[in-house]
Amino acid sequence: MSALESSKATENNNNEPPLAKGLPIIGSAASLFNSPVEFLREQHKLHGPVFKFKAMHKTMTVLAGKEINRFMAGEGRDYFTSEVTWGRLRDGLKSPHLMIAVDGDAHAYQRKLLKGQFSKAAFKERLNLLVDPIESTLQSIEDGDEVHVGPFLRNIVCRQIGLAVQGVEVNTQQTEDFMTTQNTYLNVFMIGKWPKLTLLSPKFVFSALRTGKLLKKVREENTNRCPADKTSVTYMDKIEQGVQERPDLYTENDVRTISMLPFVGGVDPIGGTISFILYRLLQDDELRQRVVEEVDRVLLEAPLNFDSIDRLVDVRGLVMETMRVNPVAYAMARTATKEFDFGGYTIRKGDELMVFTVANHWEESFFPNPEKFDIERYREPRNEHKNGAIYAPFGRGPHTCIAAGLAEMHTVINVAMLLRYLDFEAAVPLEKVKIKYIPAPFMSENFKIRFTRRKI
Ligand code: HEM
């Protein structure tokens, strides 16, 4: 009997997981769309590691906890497919080999091809491509300037990913177009939160058109760059390599969507995480003073490089703790490919699943005093995140974030730069700022801060 099976399952294979209470017709849709993390946490506490919920016409089974996290990344890898849920996005985009929406050979080939481009090590010699865009933006800020946090962060991260991964300059308009396009596709096709009619709205249509042009330009500029610039291999070079080696995996639309992937994967998760960090620091002066002191101490000794980043232990703790309490990618949508038993229930082939990968982030037994925001959990001797498969801000299994190490470093860099150059205060009453799911969680668009330049 596997660790996933229990006596309850073998006694009665037909028992159904408990169903979350919901309203007639819509079921749990409102809670799920408005505050999914809170909804999943509450239901997990009530029902344990397996339960179901209904949202409109759909029923999903939630699997939660370290056992399922282990299973998904180990012997159970083949029991889950992304091809159905993410497949709705793939079909909507008419991109049959969209990496996140395919499994098996089509996924393994693309992952292997692109992995090196997303590794932290690949940035050792070109860290400046991440640092320069944020540094120049922050240096241009004047005392008293106010910004809306959402667009401000998305713009910076988009520019960084554009330059560091794609080798192109991305401006504010392109960032906005890009985010509108991406989030409309996700909300319409993948999540089903918005009606298909949204695809006819002028805002979406023009944003999608301009995004298409940008992606075309990315490809053309990469192909036409002068020989002197061709000394290092770019992300687009790898895609062109894929087109040559495996034309069966790269339609025109695939090339377009896969060239968009670093933006899709990175902008909202990193931007959202930093929006939570800024919100937290505005409420906790002691924490803020502590991290600012560390940043000043470390960056007075040396500029930002791989060594000094390693010495930013408090900033890294701040980032990791934020990813524990405000995980931006909190659940993985999958479909069962085979029958298996879990937590006393039988999961059947074809069941639509939501793997609540971060369920353990609030367990007292893994993270003592879990409601306390504590940046020291992730260092010797505590290393609370290393207790099995309990800490999972980057997902689990074959599709685990391909850029996890890079993303963590990227977030640390941005937080350190912000704290080094600028003081900031809330420019809107903080009680009016809420978490919004767009679909990834972000502090709401009314979150505004006012900057003062630091004398450094
Ligand atoms: C805080 C930052 C980030 C978080 C929390 C995050 C989280 C995740 C998670 C949970 C997945 C798995 C999705 C699934 O299994 O359904 C994923 C996949 C992915 N992420 Fe990230 N991510 C972050 C940043 C980035 C960045 C910066 C990039 C690229 C520049 C990136 C690129 C990708 C890609 C390409 C995939 C698909 C991998 C595959 O299908 O094999 N992510 N990410």
Residue 14 has a pLDDT of: 60
CA pair distance 21, 53, nearest whole angstrom: 8
Residues 6+ positions from 57 with CB-CB distance below 8 Å: none
Q: What ranges do the domains of the chain cover?
A: 1-94+330-391
Mean pLDDT calculated for residue range 384-396: 95
pLDDT grade for 167, boundaries at 50, 70 and 90: confident
| Of the candidates 279, 265, 264, 268, the residue with the CA atom closest to the CA atom of residue 318 | 279
Percent of the chain with pLDDT over 90: 77
The closest-lying atom of ligand 1 relative to the alpha carbon of residue 157 is 27
Q: Which of 119, 120, 98 is nearest to 110 (CA)?
A: 98
Q: Which amino acid is at 122?
A: A
- Class at the top of the CATH hierarchy for domain 1-94+330-391: alpha beta
Q: Which atom of ligand 1 approaches the CA of 357 most closely?
A: 10
The pLDDT, as a whole number, for residue 207 is 95
pLDDT tens, 248-300?
999 999 999 998 889 989 999 999 999 999 999 999 999 999 999 999 999 99
List, for residues 324-343, the tens digit of each pLDDT value: 999 999 999 999 999 999 99
For residue range 177-190, list pLDDT tens digits in order. Answer: 988 998 999 899 98
How far apart are the CA of 265 and the centre of ligand 1, in A? 5
Q: Which two tokens stand for residue 198?
A: 């949204």
What residue ranges line ligand 1, CB within 6 angstroms? 82, 99-100, 111, 118, 161, 165, 261-262, 265-266, 269-270, 273, 328-329, 332, 393-395, 399-403, 406-407, 410-411
Using the mean position of ligand 1's atoms as its centre, give its distance from the Cα of residue 399 in Å.
8
Dist CA 415 CA 134 (whole Å): 10
- Res 274: pLDDT: 98
Q: Using one digit for the tens of pLDDT, what is the confidence trace for 194-207?
A: 999 999 999 999 99
Would the pTM of this model clear 0.85, i.e. be above it?
A: yes
Q: Given ligand 1 and candidates 89, 273, 401, 410, which is best to mutate, with the most ligand atoms within 8 Å of its CB?
A: 401
> CA-to-CA distance for 47 and 289, rounded, in angstroms?
41
